[in-house]
Structure 1
Amino acid sequence: MEESALGLVLIPLLAVMAPLLARLIGPVLRIPVVVFELILGILVGPALLGWVHPTEILHALSEFGLAMLFFLAGTEIDFAGIGRKSLTRASLGWLFSIVLGIGVGFLIAPGDGMIVVAIALSSTALGTLMPILRDAGELGSPFGKAVTAIGTVGEFLPLIAISIFLSVRSAPLATVILLVFVVLALLAVYAARRIPHGRFHAFVNATLHTSAQFGIRFVLLLVASLVALSVVLDLDMLLGAFVAGAVWRIVMSSASKEDAEQVESKLEGIAFGFLVPIFFIYTGVTFDLKALLASPMAMALVPLLLIALLVIRGLAAQFSATEGMSRRDRSALALLAATGLPIIVAVTGIGVDNGMLQSDIAAALVGAGMLSVLLYPLIGMTIRGERAAVQAKSLQGEL
């Protein structure tokens, strides 16, 4: 009980420390806040200081945080803005990734683990990249749209693969169940597009600054409903959270800009101010550092898997490179596409729980994912250059 109480105090403390450390080091080196959250989680976890241990309540809050991360990623996706052509090219790139990933998986985890490794190495952390792109003013630029297309496919298709190939059911039955979910999701999207939103938006506006907070309550219901549907159908819960984000974007597309921004701000406050930091810190707490350090092979795999992420996702990203992109932009695109962690954490957890993957190999994959979050966005945005970011901000201002 005392350990649980200590964790409930320390994790919010670490969540406060992480942005302070990022700001302190910012003038010298721009490091994403999630990196500090992961490192602090490892520091206080069982592997080092042993101040925080996994508990049911922290695990549940972490799962909510991961769901909200994917929900927000879903809200950021403008399918019309990205374009069918960009999504098609990104999908072809992902298929290329999964083939290369299977090859790597065959070498380090033959058998069922091969699929786990392939899915992990074919993912891109869209939810982690979106705040970086937003802060740099890149969301509306051709470069930002290319990264968004790659990230959308790099989160959605791995979730589909998890639901089909890592389900307890046979692959044909899992595919049928997935199709049932897709049909229900499409019905939700259709309803969101067709049902008049006037009264809904009016009620959201009327409760924006009251204790009712109808808009936020509705979002939580939407996320809970689609996540619950995913769980009932034995699909990955993140699939439901992702679709919930896409549905919510459609619902709010006809709202006034001011109302939409206020609701978005409140949701980001709940997610990035509360739940998402818990997920990243708890990922650090539960990171099996002992298994990694005890296995020389796993230690050697970490840099190799980090390079594999860059090669596999970096080459796939070139399918999405637009005409006129410079070599620097293509390099930056490759580095951002190779940034992966949430899917890696989720899929390796499934692999270990189902006996498909050894814990040391899983730790090596998660370790590579952590390093990718630390290194690749930093190097990629540096290569992209400050001038490009300023131009992107100016372009958005003109529009």
Structure 2
Amino acid sequence: MAYDNLLIVLAIAAAVPLLLATVPRLPLPGAVLEILAGIVLGPAVLHLVEADTAVELLSVIGLGFLLFLAGLEIDIQQLRGPGARLIGTGLLASAVLAALVGWCLHVAGLVESPLLIGTALLATALGLLVPILKDSGAIDRPVGQLTIGGASGGEVGAVVLLSLLFSERSSGVGSKIILLLTLVGVAALIVAASVRVGRWTRLTGTLDRLADTSAQIRIRLAMLLVVGLSAMSLHLGFEAILGAFVAGAVLRMVDPHAERAHPRFHMKLAGLGYGFLVPVFFVTSGIQFDLGALFEDAGTVLRVPMFLAALLLVRGLPALMYRAAGLSWPDVAAGALLQATSLPVIVAAATIGLKLGAIRPENASALVAAGLLSVIVFPLVALPLLHRSRRSREKRPATTERPATAPTEAAPPNRSDG
């Protein structure tokens, strides 16, 4: 096995954050810059690197770890509480809009599989959203709570549908639903057993003692959970990413306050993922990006803004319902833009669709390009709106009385990681 290509991929992964730190005004998330670097240095432009066996293997593992980290961000409390009805209604509206958009594009002869397109449009880049909301100070505000809740539901729905409807191991939908319930049942048993075992003070003391030694026992157990559920997902006929995603959600439910109780644990997981595996996936996605198919004709290029508008319609429009929670219009607009920000699941959907012949290369390239633009453009527009709303809220007590809707705004529960 040669390491030349992997060396270049890791060099790109190391150079991107250094470049962003050197040029702090560069309005690009690291994931986007990694994909763009892969496109430029890959076969599409300079052909200095290609995805060989070592790179592809780590890329697959990186995708699984990215979904694991996304599942780790899922807070079940966000899908309960006072805002649960708004979040659920918004998700239902997104699902209906996704089905309608996919069907219309299919009838117009623009896409092959309306289900694949609809599933790809349903997701939100939860892993990218959380840092943005934290950095803007909106994570504990109602706009942050509702946006994360809606993003969590969209991410869960998209990953489940992608594995349920578009697996290389084909079987009937009815049997897959039964197998999916089996996977969920196993995950529930793991949660119940872990909670019960966690009451054994001797065992928890041993885990705490070994956590920061060379044993790194919490990391080893976490990796066992990820690989175990991924393997089970494959054996049940689903994509491995579903098992990885479920593993993250299971770990969050087993230890919901881990970021406060074991802060180094989450830091180590993030270091392993975002420091090594996840960048390999993004750079490899750029290397495998079919730039020629995207610019093959003007019609294909025009599909990029079409898919971008579809993302804003499917995920952004339902955010208007958050106005009922007392959010200001700038907050509603910011929530709509952030919920329409999507990339990892789009890349996964395009990759799986190409393998199954459910999407043409030009449509896959246009869809991924739309995801790249959403990650660049939507947060840039949303952040000033969040800052404007925050400034107006800070000035409000000094100038006017607190509005009657304030209790509604404060209703969603605080996140444990705030």
Asked if TM exceeds 0.5, the reply is yes
Structure 2 residue 292 is matched with structure 1 residue 287: no
Name the counterpart of 1:327. 329
Aligned length: 392
CA distance in 1, matches of 2:372, 2:57: 21
- The yes-or-no answer on 1:215 pairing with 2:218 is yes
More deviation, 359-368/383-392: 383-392
SS in 1 for 2:295: helix
1:9 pairs with 2:7: yes
Which of 97, 105, 109 is matched with 1:108 structurally? 105
Is the CA contact (8 Å cut-off) linking 1:87 and 1:153 kept in structure 2?
A: no
Residues 135 and 207 of structure 1: CA distance in aligned 2, closer, same or farther (over 3 Å): farther
Provide the residue aligned with 1:365 in structure 2. 367
Cα distance change on mapping 1:98 and 1:112 into 2, 3 Å: farther
Query: Which segment is superposed worse, 187-196 or 56-65?
Result: 187-196
Quote the offset at 1:254 in angstroms.
6.4
CA distance, structure 2, for counterparts of residue 256 and residue 172 of structure 1: 39
- Pairing 1:347-366 to 2, within 5 Å after superposition: 347-366=349-368
| Residues 340 and 378 of structure 1: CA distance in aligned 2, closer, same or farther (over 3 Å) | same
Partner SS state of residue 139, structure 2: coil
Give the percent of matched residue pairs that are identical in Structure 1 and Structure 2: 37
Q: 1:236-285 deviations in whole A, cap 9, x for unaligned?
A: 32221122112212333466935x10111111111111111111111111
Task: For residues 269-323 of structure 1, give each alpha carbon's deviation from its aligned partner in whole angstroms, at most 9, with x where no partner exists.
Answer: 1111111111111111111111111132211100111111112210122344552
Q: Identify the residue that residue 248 of structure 1 maps to in structure 2.
A: 251
Say whether the 8 Å CA contact 1:40–1:284 is kept in structure 2: yes
Hey, what does 2:33 align to over in structure 1?
Answer: 36
| 1:24-64 alpha-carbon deviations (Å, 9 max, x no partner) | 332x3443211211111111111011111112221221122
CA contact (8 A) 1:295 1:360 kept: no
Following superposition of structure 1 onto structure 2, how do residues 45-64 of structure 1 map, counting pairs within 5 Å? 45-64=42-61
Q: Which residue of 2 aligns with 1:314?
A: 316
Q: How does 1:1-399 map to 2 (within 5 A)?
A: 4-26=2-24, 28-84=25-81, 86-110=83-107, 113-167=113-167, 168-197=170-199, 198-253=201-256, 257-258=260-261, 260-320=262-322, 323-385=325-387, 388=390
C-alpha distance 300-112 of structure 1, shift in aligned 2 (>3 A) = closer
TM-score (norm 1): 0.90
Asked whether the 8 Å contact 1:125–1:154 carries over to 2, the reply is no
Between the aligned partners of 1:378 and 1:270, the Cα distance in structure 2 is 28
Task: Provide structure 2 residue ranges, at least 5 long, that are not aligned to the other structure.
Answer: 395-409
1:82–1:113 Cα change, 3 Å: closer
**Local SS of the residue matching 2:325:** coil
Partner Cα separation in structure 1 for residue 258 and residue 368 of structure 2:
40
**Cα distance change of structure 1 residues 263 and 190 upon mapping to structure 2, 3 Å threshold:** same
- Residue 93 of structure 1 deviates from its aligned partner by 2.2
For residue 124 of structure 1, give the secondary structure of its aligned residue in structure 2.
coil
TM-score by length of 2: 0.86
Cα distance, 1:204 vs. partner? Answer: 2.8
Determine the C-alpha separation between the residues in 2 that align with 1:305 and 1:112.
14
Do the aligned partners of residues 159 and 82 (structure 1) sit closer, same or farther apart at CA in structure 2, a change above 3 Å counting? closer
Would you say the 8 A contact 1:90–1:316 is kept in 2? no
Larger Rg: 2
**Structure 1 residue 189: deviation in Å?**
2.2
Deviation by residue 1:328-374 (Cα, 9 ceiling, x = unmatched)? 00010001000111111111222221122111111111110111111
One-letter identity of the residue aligned with 2:23: I
Q: Kindly indicate whether the alpha-carbon contact (under 8 Å) linking 1:344 and 1:366 is maintained by their aligned counterparts in 2.
A: yes
User: Shift of the alpha carbon at 1:112?
Assistant: 5.5
